[in-house]
Amino acid sequence: MKKKILLIHTGGTIGMTRDSKSGVLRPDMFYASLLKVIPEISTIADIEVEIPFVFDSAELNFPHWQKLAAIIKNRLDKVNGVVITHGTDTLAYTASALSYMLPNIPIPVILTGAQKPLSELRSDARNNLINAVELATAEIPEVCIFFDYKLMRGNRTSKSHVNFFDAFVSPNYPLLAEVGINIEIYRANILKPGGPFHVFDKFSSSLAVLKLFPGCNSDYFQPGSNIRAIVVIAFGAGTIPMQSGNLPGRIEQWLEVGKVVVLASEARGGRIEPRLYESGNRLLEMGVISAGDMTFEATATKLTFLLGQHDQPALIRNNFQKSLAGEMTVLQ
């Protein structure tokens, strides 16, 4: 008996059509006729298509994530897996957000997309979609991203290239599965549900981000009273300038008024190590917390998620330093 898969189409390049006059890609309801375009999908599973909205992924944010979580919750007992087709630009943000919103999800939720529309010749859409559906029939109880023959934990993934089909990487966590002649599922890397399934759907946009670069004047960065958390994207292992400007002093002021300050690195791979150098060590002593080996996408969505759940800075700080959905490596 074939398994049942819910396919949720949200928009993005994978389902766009090209305007014949301008050549511009535009969102389309193309997926309404999905089974006519890729009839072989019906041999893998019984597919039900739902199209809650069709947008360029740059438009997607909290209300859209909440809609997706609600759809998944309502269909959880009726399907064996979920595939979400999504634009690639913010796909890793949506995957990270859903991983926090759907803790202990008992079925696979696999996000995928494409660099070229399904309707075009030499598109990667067909491969990504067929393999995502097949993997969604397996026992992989977490939120994932499938792209270019690789299944990755959603909150460990970043978009790394605009032009290549191999557009996503998981810099600090091994793959969950690879697709070749056979499908290799790496069971040891897959999350094990640690309790009952819940849905948490509150978010807050009270987050600001300061990206450093040599010679930048951070005085322009003035987070207002409505900002409750700040991510400072530092250099390398977590260094900031100490001899020019007064960024350490300003960070200390933010902490004194109750803002949560997180130190992250501009480097995608590896784990931030603030204690290696004087500046990072000083920040930790002030009360700044480290993003560890999380991606920026996982860091930003985790903070907006926690800001939505908690009012007290201490609770946000404590929960940020825990692994909520396998998004970070917690050192013992």
Least confident range of 70-84, 109-123, 198-212, 309-323:
109-123
Share of the chain above pLDDT 90, in %: 71
* pLDDT in the model for residue 97: 98
Confidence of residue 91 (pLDDT cuts 50, 70, 90): very high
Query: Does position 17 have pLDDT exceeding 90, yes or no?
Result: no
| pLDDT digit string, tens, across residues 37-73 | 788 888 999 999 898 998 889 999 999 999 999 999 9
* pLDDT in the model for residue 291: 97
Q: 236 CB contacts (<8 Å, ≥6 apart)? A: 265, 266, 267
* pLDDT in the model for residue 95: 98
Structural domains present in the chain: 4-189 (3.40.50.1170), 207-320 (3.40.50.40)
Q: 274 CB contacts (<8 Å, ≥6 apart)? A: 237, 238, 263, 280, 281, 283, 284, 288, 290
Query: Does position 173 have pLDDT exceeding 60, yes or no?
Result: yes
The catalytic residue among 10, 13, 94, 112 is 13
Amino acid, res. 235: F
| pLDDT digit string, tens, across residues 127-153 | 999 999 999 999 999 999 999 999 999
Separation in Å, CA 249 to CA 225, 241, 243, 260, 291:
18, 12, 12, 15, 21
Helix 91-101 × helix 62-75 angle, to 10°: 50
β partners of residue 147: 150
Confidence of residue 122 (pLDDT cuts 50, 70, 90): confident
| pLDDT digit string, tens, across residues 151-161 | 999 999 999 99
pLDDT, average across residues 108-121? 84
pLDDT, average across residues 270-277? 89
| pLDDT digit string, tens, across residues 226-242 | 999 999 999 999 999 88
Residues comprising the chain, all counted: 332
Of the CA atoms within 13 Å of residue 246, those in its CB half-sphere come to 6
* pLDDT in the model for residue 15: 65
Q: Can 88 be counted among the known catalytic residues?
A: no
Query: Does position 177 have pLDDT exceeding 80, yes or no?
Result: yes
Query: Does position 30 have pLDDT exceeding 60, yes or no?
Result: no
* pLDDT in the model for residue 126: 85
Confidence of residue 324 (pLDDT cuts 50, 70, 90): very high
Q: Do 194 and 174 touch, CB atoms closer than 8 A?
A: no
Helix 278-286 × helix 247-256 angle, to 10°: 20
Amino acid, res. 70: A
pLDDT, average across residues 210-215? 93
Tokens of 162: 């605009």
Tokens of 57: 């992924």
